[in-house]
Amino acid sequence: MVEIVVLRLGHRPERDARVTTHVGLTARALGASGMLLASDDKSVADSIERVDKSWGSGFWVKTEVSYRSEMRKWKESGGIVVHLTMYGINMPDCIDALRKELAEKKVMVVVGAEKVPGDVYQMADYNVAVGNQPHSEIAALALFLDWLQEGREFKKEFNDGELKIVPSEHGKSVQKK
């Protein structure tokens, strides 16, 4: 992958604030470089950017985007759009082909809330189901990013933050830098 960006659709301020914050933090922790948010909810962007400042990486959030124009521009510039939906092709049945296709391309991963407009299914290059069962766009995003990168995302270093965890068997240890 050259780059991973997440596009979050259908965010309703207040109702979805925490779930969208989890989407952004998951994207950041698992190697995406930023999140596009089809809503003007600055509070979500602020929380994610606060975490990023403390823990490092330079993850960005851009609000008030138009999903149609972002998906179109992404495809026009040679990127691939993958929409995660329970109605799509089950991940174990398409991940090998996707890994091959995405090896030298940038990928936009689209995750929706409850209702996703019909044109998203058409505009996406791939509609991928992380299991054909209803669960969570946060879980789906995490599993897709992990399968796509085959676990390499856990080796990413976050060196430019103010805080760093020292892994403990039974406690909490945080280093201030």
* Interacting positions 92-131 with a copy of itself (CB under 8 A): 92-93, 121-122, 124, 126-127, 129, 131
Stretch that binds a copy of itself, among 5-13, 37-45, 67-75, 163-171 (CB under 8 A): 163-171
How far is the C-alpha of 155 from the C-alpha of 151, rounded, in Å? Answer: 8
Site for a copy of itself in 7-26 (CB under 8 A): 15-16, 18-19, 22-23, 25-26
Residue 59 dihedral angles phi and psi, to the nearest 5°:
-65, 135
What are 103's two structure tokens? 């090896």
Q: Does 154 bind a copy of itself (CB under 8 A)?
A: yes
Binding test (CB under 8 A) with a copy of itself, winner from 7, 39, 55, 98: 55
Nearer CB in complex with a copy of itself: 52/104 = 52
Residue 173 in the binding site for a copy of itself (CB under 8 A): yes
| Residues in touch with a copy of itself (CB under 8 A) | 15-16, 18-19, 22-23, 25-26, 28-30, 51, 55, 85-93, 121-122, 124, 126-127, 129, 131-136, 138-143, 146, 151, 153-155, 158, 164-165, 167-174
